């Protein structure tokens, strides 16, 4: 027999949540909450990186908690200088923000720090990330985090050599874009982050989101392998290159990329900024049109997807 108990936990925007402890397993059940939390019977552990101008770590952390995972925020210096171990986690997250003030180009300085700074072990964080992925684990990056993953060469990583193959440049508008967009998922994409999603509304907040592909061969590989997993689209769900539906002029109307294995996923929009219906600027009209509409924000589905996928995979491997 297992002993069990309910423990009340406060989560941002949710209120009181009951955590059922059953031996070494757990599940979440929201009390008087509109959020339907994913039942997880094997712990899924999320690590959220912060520091040096990253500013979306709290929302990203909250997204994983709402999705039923255990989640922790750690300053990058704890990893780079103090030997904090990333390998006890299932998913590594690079949130949005303005790391190092977007100097040189957005995400470049942070990417170089990850690529070249030696850890106490003598390895680099990029070395450890390669081991992390080889163990079948996952990486997520939004906005500035996506820029970091691209400039590290982790996306799209067609060659498998972790060398940069695309970049993210200044928006065609020549200005910072802060607006809501519609995105559609590419049919056949392998990444579990987007499972079951066809179209999603999300906010964008960036000045350098225009994807440029280095050559035609790379472009063809991205298309043929469905690595351009998320595209800006119009209200009918058709990919668009027209501004402001496509807020930056990205090639392939790219809003997000995955790598060939589907383990790494990055996007310019901010799903962590749409965890509740009430995050949407038009929520009042949406609720009047559909009084039974879910009070979950559409962005939460991405986090629930990956937490569910990892939890199921870990349960099957036991």
In this structure, the chain runs to a length of: 318
Q: Which two tokens stand for residue 73?
A: 């925020």
* 289 secondary structure, DSSP code: H
56 is catalytic: no
Instruction: Say which of 270, 296, 298, 309 is annotated catalytic.
Output: 270
* 38 secondary structure, DSSP code: P
Instruction: Say which of 272, 280, 296, 298 is annotated catalytic.
Output: 272
Say how far apart CA 148 and CA 139 lie, in whole Å.
12
SS3 113: helix
Chain mean position to CA 130 = 18
Residue identified by tokens 């970091």 is 148
User: Is the link from the previous residue into 156 a cis peptide, with omega within 30 of 0?
Assistant: yes
Say how far apart CA 195 and CA 308 lie, in whole Å.
10
163 is catalytic: no
Instruction: Confirm if 210 and 250 have CB atoms less than 8 A apart.
Output: yes
User: Is the link from the previous residue into 244 a cis peptide, with omega within 30 of 0?
Assistant: yes
User: By C-alpha distance, which of 45, 164, 146, 156 is closest to 97?
Assistant: 146
State the chain's maximal CA–CA distance in angstroms. Answer: 64
270 is catalytic: yes
Instruction: Say which of 56, 143, 229, 254 is annotated catalytic.
Output: 143
Give me the active site residues, please: 143, 270, 272
């Amino acid at each position: 027999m297992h002993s069990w108990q309910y423990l009340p936990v406060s989560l941002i925007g949710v209120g009181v949540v009951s955590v059922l402890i059953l031996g070494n397993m757990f599940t979440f059940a929201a009390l008087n909450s509109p959020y339907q939390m994913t039942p997880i019977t094997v712990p899924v552990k999320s690590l959220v990186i912060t520091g040096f101008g990253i500013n979306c770590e709290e929302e990203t952390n909250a997204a994983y908690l709402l999705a039923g995972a255990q989640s922790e925020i750690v300053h990058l210096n704890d990893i780079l200088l103090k030997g904090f171990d990333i390998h006890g986690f299932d998913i590594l997250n690079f949130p949005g923000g303005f790391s190092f003030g977007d100097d040189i180009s957005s995400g470049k300085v942070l990417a170089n720090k990850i690529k070249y700074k030696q850890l106490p072990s003598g390895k680099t964080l990029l070395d450890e990330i390669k081991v992390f992925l080889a163990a079948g684990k996952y990486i997520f990056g939004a906005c500035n985090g996506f820029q970091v993953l691209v400039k590290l060469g982790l996306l799209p990583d067609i060659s498998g050599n972790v060398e940069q193959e695309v970049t993210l440049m200044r928006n065609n508008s020549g200005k910072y874009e802060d607006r809501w967009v519609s995105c559609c998922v590419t049919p056949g994409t392998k990444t579990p982050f987007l499972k079951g999603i066809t179209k999603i509304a999300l906010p964008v907040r960036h000045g350098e989101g225009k994807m440029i592909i280095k050559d035609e061969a790379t472009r063809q590989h991205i298309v043929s392998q469905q690595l351009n997993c998320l595209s800006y689209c119009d209200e009918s769900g058709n990919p668009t290159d027209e501004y402001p539906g496509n807020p930056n002029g990205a090639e392939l109307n790219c809003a997000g990329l995955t790598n060939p294995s589907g383990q790494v996923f990055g996007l310019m929009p901010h799903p962590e900024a749409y965890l509740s219906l009430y995050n949407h600027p038009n929520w009042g009209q949406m609720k009047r049109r559909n009084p039974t509409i879910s009070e979950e924000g559409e962005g939460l589905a991405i986090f629930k997807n990956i937490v569910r996928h990892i939890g199921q995979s870990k349960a099957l491997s036991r």
